[in-house]
Amino acid sequence: MNYELFKEVLKEEDFQNYQFENGVWDKCKTYRDQGYAENFGIQWNKFQLTQFDSINGTNKTRDRLFGCSCWNPEALENKFVLEIGSGAGRFTEILLRYGAKVVSIDMSNAVYANAKNNKCDNLLLIKESLYNLPLKSNSFDYVLCYGVVQHTPDTKKSYFDCINYAKGNGLCSIDHYKKHYFPNPFYHPKYIWRPITKKISPELLLKLIQFYIPSYITFDTLIKKIPIIGYSIAGCIPIPCWNYSGSKDVKQDKNNLIEWAILDTFDALGARYDEPWSLRKLNRFAAKLPVKGFHVGLGGNGIILNTFGNTNA
């Protein structure tokens, strides 16, 4: 990692409190302090490469990134991009491929998986909360925050903090879980169990999911194949199963489908915080953000907010 490359976006007085170890800048130099995000540390160190385009032979991550953000990939070269929520680095890989200078942050140990998967001089990884970053305001050309805001303790503050790091003409792309009112297998079974599962230790929860998914996924697939009503029926059955059978974006061999199902079912049930919003709520809230323009639509994890500019810059 070329530290000099990132001086422009770092708060030097704050960043001097961080130390470099195992490819990551971290204050405490331990793997213990993950706050409310311990489940993500376990998840992305176990399933490090499952979602990587370069490994699974698809363009699922690339298409999601540029399809949802509407960014021009060719415009990323030599631009500063702040990625909030490192995960194992599936989006980091794409950003680096197009020559961006990426600062990727995560408060969980997932950031160490990213360090293993994306070694590059153009990447600076920081283990830290969104609310306490050693970064300058209004210093990034692009801000990416996918799969994160609904899992933070203060969702509205998270949006404002994301915008805060964008330049005066910077672009932000933030996705959010969508609230559903009709039976949906990727929604209702999850929220029946979350009051319990969010209190279970992540290690135990993962073991439980690994136990039932391999046998249940076959039944779940049969239910969803019922014409017209199968999808709704699956949404009424109180057994969470993130089943991608039939999806053109996921390889359809059985072992791969089981791996994806375990990964995303654990992702859905293990987070301490989970706050879905409606499209209308996000649209009304976006009007309060200090941006020059915005667009709200469907995409990503459910709904997507793309903004232009930062009026506080």
Residue range 195-227, pLDDT digits in tens: 999 999 999 999 999 999 999 999 999 999 999
pLDDT at 93 over 80: yes
Query: How large is the greatest C-alpha to C-alpha distance in the chain, in angstroms?
Result: 61
Q: Are residues 102 and 212 in the same domain?
A: no
Q: Which two tokens stand for residue 81?
A: 């991009």
Q: Which two tokens stand for residue 248?
A: 């053109």
Q: Are residues 57 and 139 in the same domain?
A: yes
Mean pLDDT of 107-120: 96
Mean pLDDT of 76-96: 98
Q: Are residues 153 and 133 in the same domain?
A: yes
pLDDT at 32 over 90: no
What integer pLDDT is reported at residue 1 of this predicted model? 59
Domain of residue 42: give its range.
3-178+276-308
What integer pLDDT is reported at residue 28 of this predicted model? 73
N-terminal to C-terminal alpha carbon distance within the chain: 28
Q: Are residues 138 and 237 in the same domain?
A: no
Q: Is 30 exposed, middle or buried (0-12, 13-18, 19+ CB in 10 A)?
A: exposed
Q: Are residues 203 and 221 in the same domain?
A: yes
User: Where are the strands (E) in 178-272, listed by range?
Assistant: none
Number of domains in the chain: 2
pLDDT at 3 over 90: no
Q: Are residues 212 and 142 in the same domain?
A: no
pLDDT at 30 over 70: no
Q: Are residues 225 and 283 in the same domain?
A: no
In this prediction the pTM is: 0.96
Packing angle between helix 38-46 and helix 254-270, nearest 10 degrees? 170
Q: Are residues 149 and 94 in the same domain?
A: yes
Give CA–CA dist 69/200, Å, rounded: 35
Q: Are residues 254 and 105 in the same domain?
A: no
In this structure, is residue 212 part of a structural domain?
yes
Residue carrying structure tokens 């779940």 = 220
Give CA–CA dist 35/79, Å, rounded: 31
Q: Are residues 209 and 62 in the same domain?
A: no
pLDDT tens figures, 116-130: 999 999 999 999 999
In this structure, is residue 57 part of a structural domain?
yes
In this structure, is residue 183 part of a structural domain?
no
